[in-house]
Amino acid sequence: MFQGQIEITGQKIISLKPQQGNLTLIINGQKINFGNAYAFPGFTDSHVHLLHGGEFLSMPDLKNAKSEQECVDLILKKPFHRGNWILARGWNQENWNKKSFPTKKSLDKVFPNTPICLIRNDGHSLWLNSKALEICKINKNTPEPNGGKIVKDLNGEPTGILIDEAIELVRPFLPPYSKEQCLSFLQASTLYLAQFGITTIHDMDVDPESLDIYQEYFNNKNPRINTYILISGKKFSNKVLDVSNYNNDFLHVVGLKYYMDGALGSYGALLFEPYNDNQNSSGLQLLSEETLLEIFNLASKFNLGLCIHAIGDKATHLILKNYELFVQNAYKLPKFLRIEHCQIIHPEDVLKFNQLGIVASIQPIHFPSDFEMAKKRLGNRQALAYPWKSFQKSNVLICSGSDFPIETPDPIIGLYSFVNRDLIDPDKIFGSEKLDIQEALATYTINPWLSIKEKPSNLELGSKANLTILSDDLNKLPKEHLNEIKVLASISQGDIIYQR
């Protein structure tokens, strides 16, 4: 945190002159006075989906809908087209008066001849109408893919809900976006993130086929933030893709992304014991133990890092168990290993993170948004969930993100969730796991760089000028008022990409 004068030339900080009560930036000779504001190292979101974020910003958002029918009404009012399909995102049956999964019937009444694909808020389930099911050749005889579920009615007919790997049955039939649309998605997403003080991102699950579009966008004078890409592991072909070809000042391919399990909301997170509110399910295992060892070896071979999605306690345990075996037998390790989400973890497994040098990549916004649903799903296992302070006490490196566009990317809300956990959960149903403001701030500033083995961007001479300008001092503001802080500007490598 800094007050005074910061001089920037090109991409770097060349002068720092402290002065209490005032903040002035001189960027390539142009002076900008922010008054009694504060400069911080630029915020990093360690888990976003940049291209899909811009796509989702263009779609109807169903997150505030209170019923299945309200979702239908919203897309009828303002449909978003992908070719001849209609798409929307954000539905969540847990927010409805009737909390069961929706079905194709309500869509069929209004859209009998147009394929409809509605994406659940966690991105792990699709809701389709009959026309979409027909186009994708999904019927009562369609076998379920490994790690996926086709929800069916009592007669064996698909209801329209596909979970996790069953989503892959739909992707080949979605019409492609044009290059111009994809470039517009990247710009919309970048500008949106910059409003929240975000100057760096770790972009998850990027399709290798999109890398040329990324390269075109980042090689031109578009609004740019520092983007570190994790390629979709299941789409990575090491025989034909040289990732180093895509690196430039703002764009870097640093690793691969995989999914070990699904999401808690759709009963896809892999648990040791059945769900408290669904005794017929313990979740979905998307990677075999043999495959885990193969991807550890693949990442080490190409000096890439790994980010593996794991929400359930069994999913995390299997990664830790097999990585420990790999460490014992491999002469070369992946560049880094992060477990993404880390929502439900046994205490003994928390210790393994530090012992094996694994990073805990978490999304603090998931706690307030999933709080009530997690209570129902977990029952008496609530104390295993969201173990933030336990990680901190065990000297585990924590980096934070949002999973945008699944959640808001606002780091201020993430910081608020960290330090006000006791206000969100006053009975400490999920344990006493809050962080203090300094611990929380590090997860958005310094730790994300360390998590991918990169040199941190900081407020010091010679550092790249990635800055977030805030209206207040995070350290002095009462914690319950943290969400009142305003982002005044975002500077990415010396370029002002947002100014309030």
CB 292 within 8 Å of CB 316: no
Nearest 5°: phi and psi at 288?
-75, 165
- Give the pairing type, strands 116-120 and 85-91: parallel
**Cβ(151)–Cβ(178) below 8 Å:** no
Distance CA 406, CA 277 (A): 23
Residue 104 to residue 160: CA distance in whole angstroms:
5
Give 430-467 pLDDT, tens digit per residue: 989 999 999 999 999 999 999 999 999 999 999 999 99
CA geometry: angle 426, 430, 436, nearest 5 deg: 70
SS (H, E, C) the chain: CECEEEEEECCEEEEEEECCCCEEEEECCEEEEEECCEEEECEEEEEECHHHHHHHHHCCECCCCCCHHHHHHHHHHCCEEECCEEEEEEECHHHCCCCCCCCHHHHHHHCCCCCEEEEECCCCEEEECHHHHHHCCCCCCCCCCCCEEEEECCCCCEEEEEEEHHHHHCHHHCCCCCHHHHHHHHHHHHHHHHCCCEEEEEEEEECHHHHHHHHHHHHCCCCCCEEEEEEEHHHCCCCCCCHHHHCCCCEEEEEEEEECCCCCCCCCCCCCCCECCECCCCCCCCCCHHHHHHHHHHHHHCCCEEEEEECCHHHHHHHHHHHHHHHHHCCCCCCCEEEEECCECCHHHHHHHHHHCCEEEECCCHHHHHHHHHHHHHHHHHHHECCHHHHHHCCCCEEECCCECCCCCCHHHHHHHHHCHHHHCCCCCCCCCCCCHHHHHHCCCCHHHHHCCCCCCCCCCCCECCEEEECCCCCCCCHHHHHHCCEEEEEECCEEEEEC
Out of 3.40.50.2300, 3.40.605.10, 3.10.310.70, 3.30.360.10, select the CATH number for domain 84-173.
3.10.310.70
Kindly report, as residue ranges, where domains of CATH 3.20.20.140 are found in the chain.
179-459
Which of 201, 221, 209 is CA-nearest to residue 182? 209
At 136-177, the pLDDT tens digits run: 999 999 999 988 899 999 999 999 999 988 999 999 999 999
Instruction: Encode pLDDT of 40-83 as tens digits.
Output: 999 999 999 999 999 999 999 998 899 999 999 999 998 999 99
Task: Classify residue 46 by burial, with Cβ atoms within 10 Å: 0-12, 13-18, 19+.
Answer: buried
Q: With contact defined as beta carbons under 8 Å apart, do 306 and 256 qualify? A: yes
pLDDT tens digits in sequence order for the chain, 500 residues long: 899 999 999 999 999 999 999 999 999 999 999 999 999 999 999 999 999 999 999 999 998 899 999 999 999 998 999 999 999 999 999 889 888 899 999 999 999 999 999 999 888 899 999 999 999 999 999 999 988 899 999 999 999 999 988 999 999 999 999 999 999 999 999 999 999 999 999 999 999 999 999 999 999 989 999 999 999 999 887 765 788 889 999 999 999 999 999 999 889 999 999 999 999 999 999 999 999 999 999 999 999 999 999 999 999 999 999 999 999 999 999 999 999 999 999 999 999 999 999 999 999 999 998 988 999 999 989 989 999 999 999 999 999 999 999 899 999 999 999 999 999 998 888 989 999 999 999 999 999 999 999 999 999 999 999 999 999 999 889 999 999 999 999 999 999 999 99
Q: Say which CATH topology domain 179-459 has.
A: TIM Barrel (3.20.20)
If we measure between CA atoms, which residue out of 318, 214, 332 comes closest to residue 258? Answer: 318
Calpha distance 227→281 (Å, rounded):
37
